[in-house]
Amino acid sequence: MRTIPVELPGARYDIVVGYGLLDAEVPRTLLARAVTGRRGLIVTDSTVLPLYADGLAAVLPALGAAAVDTVSFAAGEAHKTLDTVEALYHAGLAAGLDRQSVALALGGGVVGDVAGFFAATYMRGIRLVQVPTTLLALVDSSVGGKVGVDLPEGKNLVGAFFQPVLVLADLACLGSLPAREIRCGLAEIIKYAVILDADLFCLLEENVAALTRLDRALCEDVVSRCCALKTDVVRADEREAGRRAILNYGHTFGHALEAFTGYGRLIHGEAVAIGMGMAADLAVAMGRAAAVLPARQDALLQAYGLPCRAHSVARSAAAAILKLMERDKKASNGKLRLVLPAEIGRVDVLEFTDRDSLETAIGGRLG
Ligand SMILES: NC(=O)c1ccc[n+]([C@@H]2O[C@H](COP(=O)([O-])OP(=O)(O)OC[C@H]3O[C@@H](n4cnc5c(N)ncnc54)[C@H](O)[C@@H]3O)[C@@H](O)[C@H]2O)c1
Ligand SMILES: [Zn+2]
C-alpha cells in the first residue's frame, strides 16, 4: 500500500493506493476521519452498484458514519449531464444530507466527475471522497480536483475545481474491469511516461506481460507513480494557467478524433493513443524531436493493444479534424496550444499556427 500526500494552497488530503483498502488500517482510519458523525451518500452507476456499493456501504457505519444511503444512475458518458446532477440533488435532500454530509463517488471517471460536481454545488459544497474503480479514474480523473458534466454542445463544458478530502484507490476493482477499459487507462499511463517520466517509460517497456496480466505489485507501483506525477503537476498549477496543460498531451488531437468518428466508435484512450502519435510525428516534422521517438511510443502503445492510427478514417478527413481541434476550448486567441514531445519524459507547450504541417501530421495517422 502507498500513500501519496496532496498539498495544495486550499486543500490537504491523501491518495491511498493498494489492494483491499476497506480492510486495511490506514485507509480505514482516514475514511473514518472523513465520515464520522456525518451522513454519507454513495453515488455510483448501474454497473458498479452491484459490484462494490454494498461493500462500501457496509463499512461506513462501523467507521462512525451517522447514516448511509446509496444512489445510482445509468452507466455511461451519455448520463454525465446536469439532469443526472439534479436527480442527485433530489436524492440528497430525500436522504437528509446537510452541509456537514459527505458524498462518496464510487465508480469510473463519469461517476467521479458527476458526483464531484454534485458535491461541489450541493448546499454550496459538501465533502467529497473519491473511490475510483476504473484504471483511467485511478490514474487520472480522481486526481486533481476537476469535476463537471457535459452539455449537448460539448464535453466537460460545465464544472468546477473541487478537491476531495480523500481518494481511496483500491486496485482490487481492476479485476472486474473489461480489457478495453484497462487499455484506456494504459493509454493515460503511457501519456504520463512520455510527458514526465522516462524511467516509467522503460518500466512499461520491460514489463508488458506482467502489467497486462495486472501483476499486483507492478500495478500498485505504476498507479501510485502516476498519481504522484499528476499530483506534482496539479500542485504547480491547480487551475491550468500553464503547466497543467501538459496533461493534455495527445488529447487535443484525440478529442477531435472522438468527435469526428462519433463518440463511442473509438474510446477515449484509443483516440488519445492515436493523438499522441500525431503530436509525436509533428514534433519530428518540426525538428523538435528525433524520429525514434514516435517509433518507440508506437511500439509501446501497440504492445499494450492500443492503436497508433485510425484505419477507419480516410486521410482526406484531416482538414475536418483540424477544424474540430480549432474549436476545442483549449484554442485561445485563434491559436492552437499543442503539447509536443521533445524526448521521452519531456514535452513543451506551444502556440501553433502552421496549419499545413498540422494537417499533414493528422493525415499521416489516418486510413
Ligand atoms: N476530472 C478529470 O480530471 C478527468 C480526467 C480524465 C477523464 N475524465 C472523465 O472521465 C470519464 C471517463 O472515465 P472512465 O473511462 O472511467 O469511464 P466510465 O466512468 O464511463 O467507466 C467505464 C465503464 O466501466 C464501468 N466500470 C467502472 N468500474 C468498473 C469496474 N471496476 N468493473 C467493471 N466495470 C466498471 C462503468 O460503469 C462504465 O460502464 C470521461 O467523462 C472523462 O471526461 C475526467
Ligand atoms: Zn484522457
**Residue range 248-297, pLDDT digits in tens:** 999 999 999 999 998 668 989 999 999 999 999 999 999 999 999 999 99
Judge if the beta carbon of residue 137 lies within 6 A of ligand 1.
Answer: yes
In terms of Cα–Cα distance, which of 144, 106, 107 is closest to 248?
Answer: 144
Q: Separation of 330 CA from ligand 2 center, angstroms? A: 14
Output the CA torsion sign for 285, 363, 297, 350.
Answer: positive
List, for residues 71-123, the tens digit of each pLDDT value: 999 999 999 999 999 999 999 999 999 999 999 999 999 999 999 999 999 99
- From the list 230, 238, 258, 270, the catalytic residue is 230
List, for residues 337-361, the tens digit of each pLDDT value: 899 999 999 999 998 878 999 999 9
In terms of Cα–Cα distance, which of 100, 78, 289, 264 is closest to 184?
Answer: 264
Confidence band (pLDDT; 50, 70, 90) for 239?
Answer: confident
Specify the residue with its C-alpha closest to ligand 1, atom 30: 177
pLDDT at 334: 67
**d(Cα 209, Cα 42) in Å, to the nearest integer?**
35
pLDDT at 133: 98
Q: Quick count: other Cβ atoms within 10 Å of Cβ 178?
A: 10
Q: With contact defined as beta carbons under 8 Å apart, do 250 and 276 qualify? A: yes
pLDDT at 118: 98
Q: What is the mean pLDDT of residues 311-340?
A: 85
Q: Quick check: is 2 catalytic?
A: no
Q: What is the mean pLDDT of residues 226-232?
A: 97
Average predicted confidence (pLDDT) for the chain: 95
Q: Is the pLDDT of residue 35 over 70?
A: yes
Judge if the beta carbon of residue 184 lies within 6 A of ligand 1.
Answer: yes
Q: What is the mean pLDDT of residues 58-69?
A: 98
Confidence band (pLDDT; 50, 70, 90) for 308?
Answer: very high
Task: List the beta bridge partners of residue 103.
Answer: 41, 128
Judge if the beta carbon of residue 109 lies within 6 A of ligand 1.
Answer: yes
Sole residue written with cell 508488458: 208
Ligand with the closest atom to the CA of 175: 1
pLDDT at 332: 61
Judge if the beta carbon of residue 181 lies within 6 A of ligand 1.
Answer: yes
pLDDT at 327: 82
Q: Quick check: is 355 catalytic?
A: no
Output the CA torsion sign for 48, 187, 264, 215.
Answer: negative
CB-based contacts of 175: which residues, under 8 Å, 6+ apart? 214
Helices in 125-267 by DSSP H: which ranges?
Answer: 135-136, 179-196, 198-206, 208-212, 216-236, 251-261
Q: Separation of 143 CA from ligand 1 center, angstroms? A: 13
Q: Quick check: is 251 catalytic?
A: yes
Least confident of 68-77, 205-214, 221-230, 325-334: 325-334
Q: Is the pLDDT of residue 333 over 90?
A: no
Specify the residue with its C-alpha closest to ligand 1, atom 42: 109
List, for residues 190-200, the tens digit of each pLDDT value: 999 999 999 99
Q: Quick check: is 33 catalytic?
A: no
Q: What is the mean pLDDT of residues 294-303?
A: 98
Q: Is the pLDDT of residue 330 over 60?
A: no
Judge if the beta carbon of residue 48 lies within 6 A of ligand 1.
Answer: yes
Q: Separation of 36 CA from ligand 2 center, angstroms? A: 34
Out of 110, 183, 188, give the residue to mutate to test ligand 1, the one with the largest number of ligand atoms within 8 Å of its CB.
110
Q: Is the pLDDT of residue 42 over 80?
A: yes
Confidence band (pLDDT; 50, 70, 90) for 54?
Answer: very high
Q: Separation of 87 CA from ligand 2 center, angstroms? A: 27
pLDDT at 114: 98
Q: With contact defined as beta carbons under 8 Å apart, do 149 and 167 qualify? A: no
List, for residues 140-193, the tens digit of each pLDDT value: 999 999 999 999 988 899 999 999 999 999 999 999 999 999 999 999 999 999
Q: With contact defined as beta carbons under 8 Å apart, do 22 and 29 qualify? A: no
Q: What is the pTM of this model?
A: 0.96
Q: Quick check: is 240 catalytic?
A: yes
Which class for 272: exposed (0-12), middle (13-18), buried (19 or more C-beta within 10 A)? buried
Least confident of 11-20, 53-62, 353-362: 353-362
Specify the residue with its C-alpha closest to ligand 1, atom 41: 110
Q: With contact defined as beta carbons under 8 Å apart, do 322 and 269 qualify? A: no
Confidence band (pLDDT; 50, 70, 90) for 329?
Answer: low
**d(Cα 115, Cα 104) in Å, to the nearest integer?**
8
**d(Cα 33, Cα 367) in Å, to the nearest integer?**
54
Q: Separation of 270 CA from ligand 2 center, angstroms? A: 10
Q: Is the pLDDT of residue 240 over 90?
A: no
Q: Separation of 164 CA from ligand 2 center, angstroms? A: 20
